[in-house]
Structure 1
């Protein structure tokens, strides 16, 4: 259904209306595999359709959606909430006053100090949101927001090579996992979860939402069923000797809801931010400092090592659950043998 661009009586109400419609659209397209309360989701969608009284009420609805399992919604909503507050202070009279220059002003002032990855998320949120309005406004108004050159970000063309650990750093990190002074009640859980990530390369979100039934013991290994992005399933493997001591200690005290393998003291999933903080503390404890010290770097470390040892890009794609081989191809940039061949191509001519 299409609506007039300036649908409400004030700019603030109209802007909030479009955010509500866009978030409702995104909630119905996100994976609902982790949704715990279908009735609450239906109530949230109904509230978004009816409309909210103010931005705080809308933010509360989004938090509720995230809490019931739609964890990706913040990626779309947070930049728009900040945009709303930014535009609200400008005293605009119409949605037609918004243009790309104004969006660049917002991004420049609101994302300073954020990581490049977060800036990229903001850029994508802006492009997608205004493309949604372009498609659904009855006035046929086209924003055409592209942000091609903002902040030097051009999608993949502006992508940085990921940070990763060298083999020597991996050894130090693994030793530090076992020696780090965790609290007794979470030590086994944290060690098992972090080892699982670095030994298999699974995403942090995949690790935190694993179910106990997904862990399949074999002779000397565990097969682990992973449900990745887009509900795509794959199987990874970890040798029991790498994780079993910590895992069995954790299983003896584990009290998780919904059959979760790992959980906090409330029985609910651990957050990605919590895991990243733990990883950073362990890295700093053994003197390792990278541009990005978070838990996702462990996935890059696994992928880089896997490619350098196997030279098999398809194996990297399958192990990491990449939808496209192009996504895996970035790890060929760390292949020193290939780079040395390129560096030596002029030797005979010299």
Structure 2
């Protein structure tokens, strides 16, 4: 069903309506392979069909969707939440007042100081929203109003988008971090689970979402190795390995007290999927206890540290690509920038 572009009498309500419709569309088109509560997803979609009363109410629904496994929705919604607040303050009367220049102003003011990768996500979210509206609006004579937003000339990106070098730990910092994992004072209910999660990430480089969606049947032992059958982005399968001595004690102790739904390997006190935000908070707490400070202290930094160390040790880009589950080897190429031994040769150029 299509709707008039200015569907409501109020601009704020109209903009909320279109963002809400777009979010509903993304929830039904994003991969649902990691969703751990189908009834909850159905309830969220039904709430969107009925409509929300405020952007904050929509924000709650998006958070609930993220917590049950649709983590990708935040890539779209967070920039649109900022856009809603930005446009609301301008006192616009019609959606037709939004144009390329106005959106460029939004990107320039709201993404200042952010990484190129995050800026790129903001641009993608805007393009996706207005492309959706182009296809879904229709006036009384059957014609559609087309925004045709491209944002090709927006100058906020420095060179190739997303090319900023990621934060990572060097070998000495990794050793301090590993020691801190075993000495950090977790509660008796979470100590084995949290140690298991963090160790599996730092020793294998798997994504936080991948371990949170890991099932009991996806981990098994062969001799002195635990093999993890991981489902990465796009439901793409791969294998990760970790020496059993690293996680054996934590794994067995956690399994003895584990009460998880949906056959999840790890879960919260209610048996449901943990959130990525929770894991990142744990990582940050351990880093602080170890006296390690980085530009970004979240759990994803552990993946970058693993990949960096892996490349420095083996100088094998294919190995890095396979270990991290990158679809394109050019994504893995970023870690060659940390090869100090190779770059040291440049110091002899003028000798």
Same fold per TM (> 0.5)? yes
Indicate the RMSD between aligned Cα atoms, in angstroms. 2.6
Residue 202 of structure 1: which of 203, 206, 223 is its match?
Answer: 206
The structure-2 alpha-carbon separation of the partners of 1:168 and 1:65, relative to structure 1 and needing over 3 Å to count, comes to closer
Is the deviation greater in 167-176 or in 84-93? Answer: 84-93
Q: In the TM superposition, what is the alpha-carbon distance from 1:87 to its structure 2 partner?
A: 2.0
- Residue 120 of structure 2 contacts residue 161 of structure 2 at CA under 8 Å; is this kept in 1? no
2: CA distance between counterparts of 1:276 and 1:147? 34
Q: Secondary structure at the match of 1:185?
A: coil
- Residue 36 of structure 2 contacts residue 273 of structure 2 at CA under 8 Å; is this kept in 1? no
1:105-161: CA deviation from partner (whole Å, max 9, x where unpaired) = 44455556766654543333223212322344443423424165454456x445211
- Residue 130 of structure 1 contacts residue 145 of structure 1 at CA under 8 Å; is this kept in 2? no
Task: Say whether residues 1:273 and 2:277 are aligned partners.
Answer: yes
2: CA distance between counterparts of 1:209 and 1:42? 19
- Residue 36 of structure 1 contacts residue 68 of structure 1 at CA under 8 Å; is this kept in 2? yes
Q: In the TM superposition, what is the alpha-carbon distance from 1:40 to its structure 2 partner?
A: 4.7
The structure-2 alpha-carbon separation of the partners of 1:290 and 1:54, relative to structure 1 and needing over 3 Å to count, comes to closer
Is the deviation greater in 310-319 or in 114-123? Answer: 114-123
2: CA distance between counterparts of 1:151 and 1:170? 34
2: CA distance between counterparts of 1:64 and 1:275? 17
Task: Say whether residues 1:48 and 2:53 are aligned partners.
Answer: no
- Residue 67 of structure 2 contacts residue 273 of structure 2 at CA under 8 Å; is this kept in 1? no
TM-score by length of 1: 0.88
Q: Which position in structure 1 is the counterpart of 2:21?
A: 21
1:272-324: CA deviation from partner (whole Å, max 9, x where unpaired) = 11111111121121221111111111100110111111111111111101111
- Residue 134 of structure 1 contacts residue 144 of structure 1 at CA under 8 Å; is this kept in 2? no
2: CA distance between counterparts of 1:179 and 1:211? 27
2: CA distance between counterparts of 1:64 and 1:309? 41
Q: Secondary structure at the match of 2:226?
A: strand
Residue 191 of structure 2: which of 184, 187, 195 is its match?
Answer: 187
- Residue 127 of structure 1 contacts residue 147 of structure 1 at CA under 8 Å; is this kept in 2? no
Task: Say whether residues 1:308 and 2:309 are aligned partners.
Answer: no
Task: Say whether residues 1:335 and 2:339 are aligned partners.
Answer: yes
Q: Which position in structure 2 is the counterpart of 1:72?
A: 72
1: CA distance between counterparts of 2:40 and 2:183? 43
Q: Which position in structure 1 is the counterpart of 2:103?
A: 103
Q: Secondary structure at the match of 1:340?
A: helix
Task: Say whether residues 1:139 and 2:118 are aligned partners.
Answer: no
Residue 253 of structure 1: which of 257, 274, 296 is its match?
Answer: 257
Aligned length: 346
- Residue 307 of structure 1 contacts residue 332 of structure 1 at CA under 8 Å; is this kept in 2? yes
Task: Say whether residues 1:323 and 2:317 are aligned partners.
Answer: no
The structure-2 alpha-carbon separation of the partners of 1:192 and 1:45, relative to structure 1 and needing over 3 Å to count, comes to closer
Task: Say whether residues 1:58 and 2:58 are aligned partners.
Answer: yes
Q: Secondary structure at the match of 1:66?
A: helix
Is the deviation greater in 84-93 or in 235-244? Answer: 84-93
Gaps (5+ residues) in structure 2? 138-142
Gaps (5+ residues) in structure 1? none
Q: In the TM superposition, what is the alpha-carbon distance from 1:204 to its structure 2 partner?
A: 0.9
